[in-house]
Structure 1
Amino acid sequence: MAKVCSVCEKGKVSGNHVSHSNRHNKRTWSPNLRKVRAIVKGTPTRVLVCTRCLRSGKVERSI
């Protein structure tokens, strides 16, 4: 299972970790994903959704 939001398709982002002495090292930022039961195409399924989509109401959760 990929670390990608199933609603907005937000995924990993890469960049540099910059130390105090200005040395650069590669690093990644992962989205804050939660495994929730949501209604997709009329049926409840378990999907990975980022917390931004959950908070904004873009996901219809099933009980």
Structure 2
Amino acid sequence: MSNVCDICGKGEMAGMNVSHSHLKTKRKWKPNIQRVHAVVDGEVKSINVCTRCMRTNNKVQRAN
């Protein structure tokens, strides 16, 4: 499954782990992506949605 939200486009972010001695190593932050059945253009489709978009009811109309 892709790590990109189909609604807002949120994806992986890159950065650094910084230790106490200030050594830096690369790391990634992944968004919490869920597979959801939603109503899109009057049809029920399964889309990848981040949990932030799932909380906003005006963006995702969930199908039962």
Whether TM exceeds 0.5 here: the answer is: yes
Aligned to 1:59: 60
Query: Following superposition, which runs of at least 4 residues in structure 1 exceed 3 angstroms of deviation?
Result: none
Aligned to 1:14: 14
Match for 1:56: what amino acid?
T
Report how far residue 33 of structure 1 moved. 0.8
Instruction: Give 5+ residue unaligned stretches, structure 2.
Output: none
Using the aligned pairs only, state the percent identity: 46
Instruction: Give 5+ residue unaligned stretches, structure 1.
Output: none
Name the TM-score, length of structure 1 as normaliser. Answer: 0.92
- Report the RMSD for the aligned CA atoms in angstroms: 0.9
Name the TM-score, length of structure 2 as normaliser. Answer: 0.90
Aligned to 2:40: 40
